[in-house]
Amino acid sequence: MSFIRMIVVAVALLLTSSAFADPTQLKVVTAKSTASYHLVHKMHKVDATSKKVDGKAILTDGKAQVMIRIPVDSFDSDNVNRDAHMKETVEAATYPTIELKAVGPAATPASFPSTVKSTFKVQLVFHGVKQLFDAPVEITWTSATEVSATTSFKISLDGYKVERPSLMFIKVDDELVLDAKLLFTP
């Protein structure tokens, strides 16, 4: 093998290894992550939070692939009767989890801490219905090994084929706001 050919092969290997960096896998720190929903009824507002968020993210080439699962029965509004009625309404026994998959930019910054606002493509499976949409995400890198992500987006209960609960013959608004505050580490 000629000297020039060896140099060409060596350069090609270096370029290939840097262009396709090893993916970094992070997982959700359940103890420090939450998901909440907010509903409005003419007579009151309902807020419920889950502290049982599970998931992971894979970072490759400046992009993130995220997968999150939340047990439907883990949302707590501090009202046992309301929570039982919501579990019945969203058919938690038939559709036990909310699943979110998202893809978006997430390049590791040159210095820490660093915060970036972005838009991710999201696939949300809720009540057996899958929908695609864009969602805003704020990513904060506290270090090269600790990343937090927050998002808030609206969905339509009718769009997910959920029979809206009612009180005194008045249904809750169709709009449900879902917030997530997630911490990821290796």
Model pTM score: 0.86
Using left for φ > 0, alpha for ψ between -120 and 50, and beta otherwise, residue 116 falls in beta
Give the range among 15-24, 27-36, 130-139, 141-150 with minimum mean pLDDT. 15-24
Both tokens of 91, joined, read 């058919």
Q: How far apart are CA 41 and CA 171, in angstroms?
A: 7
Query: According to the model, what pLDDT value does residue 1 have?
Result: 54
| 127 in a structural domain | yes
Query: According to the model, what pLDDT value does residue 22 have?
Result: 80
Residue 168 clears pLDDT 90, i.e. is over it: no
| 14 in a structural domain | no
Containing structural domain, residue 144: 22-185
Query: What is the four-CA torsion angle of 16, 141, 144, 71, rounded to 10 degrees?
Result: -90
| 146 in a structural domain | yes
Residue 97 clears pLDDT 60, i.e. is over it: yes
- Tell me the pLDDT tens digit for each residue of 49-72: 999 999 999 999 999 999 999 999
Residue 15 clears pLDDT 90, i.e. is over it: no
Query: According to the model, what pLDDT value does residue 43 have?
Result: 87
| 15 in a structural domain | no
| 3 in a structural domain | no
Domain count, the chain: 1
Q: How far apart are CA 137 and CA 147, in angstroms?
A: 12
| 2 vs 114, more confident | 114
Residue 127's domain is classified under what CATH number? Answer: 2.40.128.110
| 9 in a structural domain | no
| 103 in a structural domain | yes
| 12 in a structural domain | no
